[in-house]
Amino acid sequence: MSAREDTPSRPVPLLPLRDLVVFPRMRVPLWVGREKSCRTIEEAVGREGKEIFLVAQRQERCDKVGPGDVFDVGGIGTVAKLFRLEDMLPLKVLVYVRRRGRLTRWIEREDFFEAEIAELPEADAPSSGALIEQVRLAFTSFCVQQARMSPEDLSALLATAEAPRLASAIMSWLKLGFEDRQALLELPSASAQLERILALLGTEPASR
């Protein structure tokens, strides 16, 4: 399967996020206050697998979210924990994001948000080994200069030899603007994401 092929779509509860972009393998704690969003969480928890699609809104201040108000690419996750104070809002929820997904069709629901979602595969070119090493070196240099991460945390973050895992780990850690994070998430492959990370770190990707 190529990195551009999506899997068949399926209906998934959709949670619009204000000024937040999520990446695969993130554990995302959220306070959910809008009534329809809270019902979306409850719908997800009531389904087998507790699956939910987290996707950023195009405009943070939009309260009545509909088709066209969210980006197409977001994160497919699982509701890991739900904390509720009796019948009071907001809800506190912990979501584990498993992989990227693409919105293919908005489903009109009165009580909660839902859409047809296709998973985006993580398959990548086997030639990304040299790129992975270049990103490791550039990110290590960046962290040493900025003194933002302990050597132990840095070693743990860079331990993976898989391009998708490395890209997700670094994208989750980098302090980027909202638009830059969404643009990274939407890139078609982990190699493209790693090359963009190098550019953000001020390093040119080596020719292949």
Q: What local confidence, expressed as pLDDT, does residue 202 receive?
A: 85
Residue 194 has a CB neighbour count (10 Å cut-off) of 27
With H, G, I as helix, E, B as strand and everything else as coil, classify residue 87.
Answer: coil
DSSP code, position 165: H
Q: What local confidence, expressed as pLDDT, does residue 93 receive?
A: 96
Percent of the chain at pLDDT exceeding 70: 90
According to CATH, what is the number of the domain 10-119? Answer: 2.30.130.40
Name the pTM for this structure: 0.90
Q: What local confidence, expressed as pLDDT, does residue 203 receive?
A: 74
Residue 192: which pLDDT band, with cuts at 50, 70 and 90? Answer: very high
**Distance of alpha carbon 73 from alpha carbon 113, whole angstroms:** 16
For the ranges 31-45, 57-71, 139-153, the lowest mean pLDDT is seen at: 139-153
Per-residue pLDDT tens over the stretch 2-56: 445 568 899 999 999 999 999 999 999 999 999 999 999 999 999 999 999 999 9
Contact present, 147 and 156 (Cβ < 8 Å): no
| Mean of pLDDT values over 126-134 | 82
| 60 or 16: which leads in pLDDT | 16
**Distance of alpha carbon 48 from alpha carbon 112, whole angstroms:** 17
Q: What local confidence, expressed as pLDDT, does residue 161 receive?
A: 82
- Please report, for residues 14, 16, 90, the alpha-carbon distance to residue 63 in angstroms, rounded to integers and kept in the order given: 15, 10, 15
